[in-house]
Amino acid sequence: NTTVTVIGAGLAGSEAAWQVAQSGVPVTLYEMRPVKNTPAHQTENFAELVCSNSLRGNNLTNAVGVLKEEMRRLDSVIINSADKTAVPAGGALAVDRDTFSQEITDKIKNHPLITVKNEEITAIPDGIVIIATGPLTSEALAEQIKEFNGSDGFYFYDAAAPIVDKATIDMDKVYLKSRYNKGEAAYLNCPMTEEEFKAFYEALISAEVVPLKTFEKEKFFEGCMPIEVMAKRGIKTMLFGPLKPVGLEDPKTGKRPYAVIQLRQDNAAASLYNLVGFQTHLKWGEQKRVFQMIPGLENAEFVRYGVMHRNSFMNSPELLKPTYQSQKRENLFFAGQMTGVEGYVESAASGLLAGMNAARLAKEEELIVFPRETALGSMAYYITHAEGKHFQPMNANFGLFPELPERIRDKKERYEAIADRALTTLAKMKQDLTIKE
Ligand code: FAD
């Protein structure tokens, strides 16, 4: 019987190993802890949550809630264990982190088709392999992955700007224009008066930031500077940087605003926009409070907050297929944060698809590309079709799904319709493929 090798027993690797084994295919799962540790993990258990104990929203009016529900229906070990070890958290699914990881570790270790080996893997093995070694992949393997993938194969990333859902931008306040009208009008511009700018500046320099982990400090200022650090250099600094208004006169008045914040299209469907130059280390709640002061963004929904932490990920649009297979080697899969999905649930979700497909490859069955109407498929589509040059990791969000056939104005109703379509699509797919619950 063909065995599948899974490397890394984190959120993605645990789910992948489970899915392969549940399909009747034997698995060898390699995990380097406790022989070698990462700078963030504290225990030797599988699927350890390195930071928050929340798996975020659990309702179907939340994209990550839809993703969880799809995973539940596909026998996810991560979500089923989270449900079992949940602690009260309002609309979110939060867990007791120790019993959560223990539950998963026990289920995996007791599975008759899974063999666990505590070893650091330093070279990509032959055969059917799933690499799920996460954002803190050990150095030796990271080097091998870089070599395998080529120059932009695997890099450190320290900063990402927040992204908003276009449907929640007040389009009466912003205007479409490129600086000096050069090329196609590509940016949405949020104009600020002097008073608005001053209030925004004050809020920004006094907002609360996330404390850095020691291992994150070294690379912090190399790439790009957090907007709040730039602001602290002086009240005018941002006006010569990302908030520069020259060439961005408001077409309605012909006048140059005091400051302009530009939003750049983030996905091919133009449903998501990022705040140009706004990589930040502000706490998420603070980002919402301060960035909603930007004219046009008063009610903006942040589908992804700005983050600054160490994160190795690959340029998936150039390297992966929506099955999570390498474009270069069909029996090599990647899963988890390293593929450019962002978050615990998203990492596990990619492990689920990679595991399902690796098992199908082992059984010589046709591989599955999940439809974009499903949350699982929308993530896989995004990471393999986003623009490679500006590719940044992404959380599950409603902006990644294809539009509904008709426009529904009410946000809650719109999200419910997208969720409903996702679960109907999944049910049909399962029927066609005869996947059991
Ligand atoms: P991991 O869960 O890290 O799993 C990778 C596993 O591979 C680890 O167990 C590691 O020991 C093992 N490994 C590494 N190299 C090797 C090797 N060569 N051989 C064998 N085993 C190896 N997401 C959230 O949703 N909420 C948060 O609060 C959050 N906080 C984060 C904080 C930090 C500091 C970081 C870095 C990330 C955070 N993330 C958070 C992002 C992400 O969701 C987590 O990193 C998540 O654990 C990713 O899952 P994964 O399976 O890709 O990697």
Reported as a single tens digit per residue, the pLDDT across 79-104 is 999 999 998 887 889 889 999 999 99
Centre of ligand 1 from the C-alpha of residue 286, in Å: 25
Of ligand 1's listed atoms, the one at least distance from the Cα of 119 is 20
Runs of H (alpha helix) within 110-182? 139-149
Q: What is the pLDDT of residues 314-372, one digit of tens each?
A: 999 999 999 999 999 999 999 999 999 999 999 999 999 999 999 999 999 999 999 99
Q: Which parts of 195-351 are beta strand (E)? A: 259-265, 272-275, 302-304, 311-313, 332-334
* Residue 202 DSSP SS3: helix
Q: What is the DSSP string of 337-397?
A: GGGTB-SHHHHHHHHHHHHHHHHHHHTTPPP----TTSHHHHHHHHHHHS-GGG---B---
Sign of CA pseudo-dihedral 424, 94, 50, 157: positive
CB count within 10 Å of CB 114 equals: 22
> For atom 25 of ligand 1, which residue has the closest CA?
343
Alpha-carbon distance 7 to 228, whole Å? Answer: 38
Q: What is the DSSP string of 71-89?
A: HHTTT-HHHHHHHHTEE--
Centre of ligand 1 from the C-alpha of residue 306, in Å: 18
Centre of ligand 1 from the C-alpha of residue 7, in Å: 12
Centre of ligand 1 from the C-alpha of residue 337, in Å: 7
> For atom 45 of ligand 1, which residue has the closest CA?
135
Residue 10 scores a pLDDT above 80? yes
Q: For a pocket test of ligand 1, which of 347, 350, 379 has the largest count of ligand atoms closer than 8 A to its C-beta?
A: 347
> For atom 2 of ligand 1, which residue has the closest CA?
10
Alpha-carbon distance 100 to 207, whole Å? Answer: 33
> For atom 9 of ligand 1, which residue has the closest CA?
10
User: Residue 326's beta-bridge partner residues?
Assistant: 320
Residue 374 scores a pLDDT above 90? yes
Please state, rounded to an integer, the average pLDDT across all residues of the chain. Answer: 91
> For atom 4 of ligand 1, which residue has the closest CA?
10
Averaged over 116-130, what is the pLDDT? 98
Centre of ligand 1 from the C-alpha of residue 48, in Å: 8
Of ligand 1's listed atoms, the one at least distance from the Cα of 348 is 51
Task: Give the pairing type, strands 163-165 and 272-275.
Answer: antiparallel
In angstroms, the Cα distances linking 345 to 66, 81, 328, 419 are: 11, 12, 27, 17
Structure-block tokens of residue 73: 């229906």
Which residues does ligand 1 sit against, CB inside 6 Å?
7-13, 30-33, 38, 40-41, 50-52, 120-121, 132-138, 141, 213, 309-311, 336-338, 343-344, 347
Residue 220 scores a pLDDT above 50? no
Structure-block tokens of residue 137: 């992949």
- Provide the pLDDT confidence category of residue 152 given band limits of 50, 70 and 90: low
